[in-house]
Amino acid sequence: MADLRTQSAEETAPLSRREPTESRAATRIALRRARELALVPALLLLTLLGALLNDSFLTQRNLISVLGASAGLAMVVLAESLVLITGKFDLSLESVVGIAPAIGALLVLPAAESGFGTDMPAALGLLAILLVGAAIGAFNGVLVVKLKLNAFIVTLAMLIVLRGLLVGATEGKTLFGMPEAFYTLATSTFLTIPLSVWLAAGAFGVTGFVLKYHRVGRALYAIGGNPDAARAAGIRVERVMLGVFVVAGVLAAVGGLMQTGYVGAINANQGQNMIFTVFAAAVIGGISLDGGKGTMFGALTGVLLLGVVQNLLTLAQVPSFWIQAIYGGIILVALMIARVTTGRAQD
């Protein structure tokens, strides 16, 4: 009997020690989920506030305008979120938003309209936009994944290089008169909603499904959580990460095309300072800067929240520099919330 009592005590003691740890882990998971879902009531609250402060806020025209203005940003946030989930950064995406559609436009515009004079068909120009985005992503991926260079420094350098190339290629001019295909995503509608909005929603839906149910999605989370363990589990870490950089470049290029259609032109500053808004949307949406955490639902609600905030501030005629300051404050608050919900110090 004494042996049985001793054995029972030995078996129950480890369980008692594990229970607090498991309880804390469950609490952190619940807090992270609550953090993502918390943006939904925040959106509803902002919508109610907008309706009370401005009669035009809840009009169909204004709401569609918010969605249309947010579509390009959403694609870049999607691209950055994928990179962040793997534990890396890509600051150059904001420059891809400008340089990719600009190269496509310069290839189709005649020399008399500041183009390269190649007079390519619109279809080839659109294809060039995607190829430029993919090429930039592949270049970043090789430097970061193959040469093991710091992702933050590499993509910051690429941001500056691409910004200079955009100004040089366009000679600082604003490009007009592109074929109608360059504007179709923003100007064509389905059920009164721009095609760009439908495309962004579809991209988030497909990506969310892949991340949750497909082995590629599980591989991304595994790499972001612990790349060495992912490699030991048979995941081709380098190949997957290189693919993520390429996909991110293509998504950012599509986002640039959407923004081009929404604005109706391409200027030498397209995409400038966009990366701050991108990080704000991703971080408040629950995408971890440490990698391995976050959902597309959270990222999408982050985009919508910032879109509504910007629209409210614009309707209130708040200067643009205050909007940027508010975005910075949102990032700081989101980081503090992340520190509380994860219980981990951030590097």
Cα(68)–Cα(72) distance, integer angstroms: 8
Provide the pLDDT for residue 109.
92
Distances (CA, A) of 79 to 51, 116, 251: 32, 29, 6
- Segment 89-104 shows an average pLDDT of 95
In contact, 311 and 50? CB cutoff 8 Å: yes
Tell me how crowded residue 69 is: count the other CB atoms within 10 A of its CB: 21
Tens digits of residue pLDDT in 271-328: 988 998 898 888 888 888 888 888 899 899 989 988 988 888 888 887 877 877 877 7
Reported confidence tier of residue 90, pLDDT bands at 50, 70, 90? very high
Q: What DSSP character marks residue 143?
A: I
pLDDT above 90 coverage of the chain, percent: 56
Tens digits of residue pLDDT in 124-136: 999 999 999 999 9
Adjacent-strand bridge partners of 190: 193
DSSP string computed for 174-243: PB----GGGTHHHH-EETTEEHHHHHHHHHHHHHHHHHHHSHHHHHHHHHHH-HHHHHHTT--HHHHHHH
Provide the pLDDT for residue 106.
94
pLDDT above 70 coverage of the chain, percent: 85
Reported confidence tier of residue 38, pLDDT bands at 50, 70, 90? low
Tens digits of residue pLDDT in 139-185: 999 999 999 999 999 999 999 999 999 999 998 888 988 999 999 99
Cα(252)–Cα(71) distance, integer angstroms: 11
Q: Is the pLDDT of residue 9 over 50?
A: no
Q: Is the pLDDT of residue 206 over 90?
A: yes
Tens digits of residue pLDDT in 237-283: 999 999 999 999 999 999 999 999 999 999 989 998 899 889 888 88
Q: Is the pLDDT of residue 118 over 60?
A: yes
